[in-house]
């Protein structure tokens, strides 16, 4: 079986719901395609998990901006930085005050939105949002 077939088999076995816990349990079997998709060395996996936790901490760190009366993220991850070894985050205030970095973030936001649109394009109730975005596209380019 290929990975998709294995995922479908797991889903079928668990009442139509695909849970990460069930996937990992299934993948413990070295004969499965899924097995090779996981890091089974606990030391390496532990380090990777701590890196994931660090990313989560950065993602949820916010500050309340009094002048706009909103909570905003403190840090953003630019695609260019993610391509470098180790990745990294930049202070949102630095990105917003640099024309080149702001432009990169805006393009990245547009690309993310287009991915979201592809994911939910079949929901006709969202058509007005997609139409408004197309009108705004000119100011991004």
pLDDT digits (tens, 9 = 90+) for 83-122: 888 889 999 999 999 999 999 999 999 999 999 999 999 9
How far CA 39 is from CA of 11, 44, 48, 121, 125, in Å, comes to 22, 7, 9, 35, 41
CB 35 within 8 A of CB 29: yes
pLDDT digits (tens, 9 = 90+) for 3-55: 999 999 999 999 999 999 999 999 999 999 999 999 999 999 999 999 999 99
CB 89 within 8 A of CB 58: yes
How far CA 76 is from CA of 88, 93, 122, in Å, comes to 9, 10, 30
**What is the residue extent of each domain of the chain?**
1-38, 94-141
Residues 6+ apart with CB under 8 A from 137: 110
Higher pLDDT, 116 or 67: 116
Question: How confident is the model at residue 46, as a pLDDT?
Answer: 96
CB 55 within 8 A of CB 48: no
């Amino acid at each position: 079986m290929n990975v998709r077939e294995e995922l479908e088999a797991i889903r079928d076995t668990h009442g139509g719901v695909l849970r990460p816990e069930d996937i990992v349990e299934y993948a413990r079997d070295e004969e499965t395609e899924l097995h090779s998709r996981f890091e089974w060395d606990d030391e390496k996996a532990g380090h990777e998990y701590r890196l994931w936790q660090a990313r989560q901490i950065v993602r949820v760190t916010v500050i309340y901006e009094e002048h706009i009366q909103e909570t905003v993220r403190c840090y953003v991850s630019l695609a260019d930085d993610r391509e470098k070894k180790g990745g990294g985050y930049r202070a949102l205030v630095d990105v917003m005050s640099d024309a080149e970095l702001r432009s990169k973030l805006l393009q990245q936001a547009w690309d993310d939105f287009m991915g979201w649109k592809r994911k939910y394009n079949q929901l006709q109730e969202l058509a007005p949002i997609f139409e408004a975005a197309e009108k705004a596209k000119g100011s991004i380019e």
